[in-house]
Amino acid sequence: MTYQAEQERVTFVLPLYFLKAEVTFTGQSTEDGLTVPLTPGNGPRVSISTRQFAKGFWLARLSWSVGRDRFCSEGWFEIA
């Protein structure tokens, strides 16, 4: 995961042959989350705009599957 503050986006790189993936964003000051499904076939690099996100710390949890195997990766970023 790479957060690019100046472009207001967060970018993920997935395996080429993932079957299903989603990113869940959870703000530090809120219990509400935003889940974004990701579609295979658009390449391994996926960028999501953070323009609508409130200022503060956010946890991004990326979950994906390849075959029968499931994977998860997390990372924090700050919108100032």
What is the distance between the alpha carbons of residues 47 and 45, in angstroms, rounded to a whole number?
Answer: 7
Q: What is the DSSP string of 32-61?
A: -EEEEEE-TTS-SEEEEE-TTSPSEEEEEE
Residue 30: per-residue pLDDT: 66
Q: What is the pTM of this model?
A: 0.86
- For the chain, list the domains and their CATH numbers: 2-79 (2.60.40.10)
Q: Give, for all 80 residues of the chain, the pLDDT tens digit.
A: 999 999 999 999 988 888 889 999 999 876 678 999 988 776 788 899 999 999 999 999 999 998 889 999 999 999 98
Residue 29: per-residue pLDDT: 72
